[in-house]
Amino acid sequence: MMINPKFTAAFFDLDGTLVDTGPPHRQAELQTLNAYGIPEIAPDHPITFGKGVIPGVQLVAEHYGIEDQEALLAEYVKQWHLVTANGIEMLPGAKDAVTSAVVYGASVGLVTSGDSKYANAFIEKSGLAESFSTVVTLDDVTNMKPHPEPYLTAAENLDVQPAHCLVFEDSETGFRSARAAVMTSVGVGAVAIELSESEERGPDMAIQSFVGFDIWGVRPR
């Protein structure tokens, strides 16, 4: 195993970073609204993707005037599991990125705003079970992204210093969480490219996708 002293741990977000959950998330939201008698998603529907399940449901509840947020959350989780029953495809190059981090010599963790059931189902179906040394979900923290707690918890689980951790994310919420945790972040996808010039909202480095990505080229912040 080759060990690079720059990073001792690499943490991967799940939704939008490793798997393309945007379309199924949108479908689950539509089916949830249908269950409440709302036929379609409104043109001014709030942006919920990348914000975490609970904050996202809160935004939907407030926007559509649904008072019982716990019931709405339960309905969304039900619809999500129905939509994703056959699994979700990993994004191009994502699996190779995880395995290359292991070869690089880093301890690898999954840090997601989803629940443990969702995270474990992904790990089982992805064939990456042996790659992840720690998994942090919404069930493991009090504060969710953009708070630094999820990533700091992952670092604590692996007994590594935050400054020696590398984070892969796709959303502003994730970039802010990594920055607050004083970790180097690599943003993946269109949002990362768009925010790459922002020191407060963007990642330390941005790539269009994991295809052709070389972890050895990342520099600590």
Residue 12 in contact with residue 110, Cβ under 8 Å? yes
Q: What does the pLDDT average to over 63-68?
A: 96
Q: Judge contact between 145 and 173, C-beta under 8 A.
A: yes
Query: What is the CB neighbour count within 10 angstroms for residue 64?
Result: 16
Q: Please check the confidence at residue 3 and state whether its pLDDT lies above 60.
A: no
* pLDDT score for 4: 57
- Rounded CA separation 95/179 (Å): 24
Map tokens 């692996």 to a residue.
Answer: 158
pLDDT at 207: 96
Q: Which amino acid is at 44?
A: D
* CA distance linking residue 66 with residue 43, whole number of Å: 17
The model's pLDDT over 98-118, given as tens digits with 9 standing for 90+, comes to: 999 999 999 999 999 888 988
Query: CB-hemisphere CA count at 13 Å for 76?
Result: 26
- The residue-averaged pLDDT of 68-76 equals 95
| Under 8 Å between Cβ of 136 and 163 | no
- Counting residues of the chain whose pLDDT is more than 70, the rounded percentage is 97
What is the model's pLDDT at position 53? 79
pLDDT score for 122: 87
* CA–CA separation, 186 and 182 (whole Å): 13
Q: Indicate if the pLDDT at residue 221 is higher than 80.
A: no
If pLDDT is split at 50, 70 and 90, which confidence band does 1 have? very low
- Return the percentage of the chain with pLDDT > 90, whole number: 73
- Among 47-61, 119-133, 192-206, the minimum mean pLDDT is found in 47-61
User: For residue 205, what pLDDT is reported?
Assistant: 95
What would you report as the CA-atom Rg of the chain, rounded to the nearest whole angstrom? 17
- CB burial class (10 A; 0-12, 13-18, 19+) of residue 93? middle
Q: Which sign, positive or negative, has the C-alpha torsion 62, 66, 71, 74?
A: negative
- By DSSP bridging, strand 184-188 and strand 9-12 are unpaired
Which tens digit of pLDDT belongs to each residue from 40-64?
999 999 988 767 778 889 999 999 9
Question: pTM value?
Answer: 0.82
**What is the overall mean pLDDT for the chain?**
92
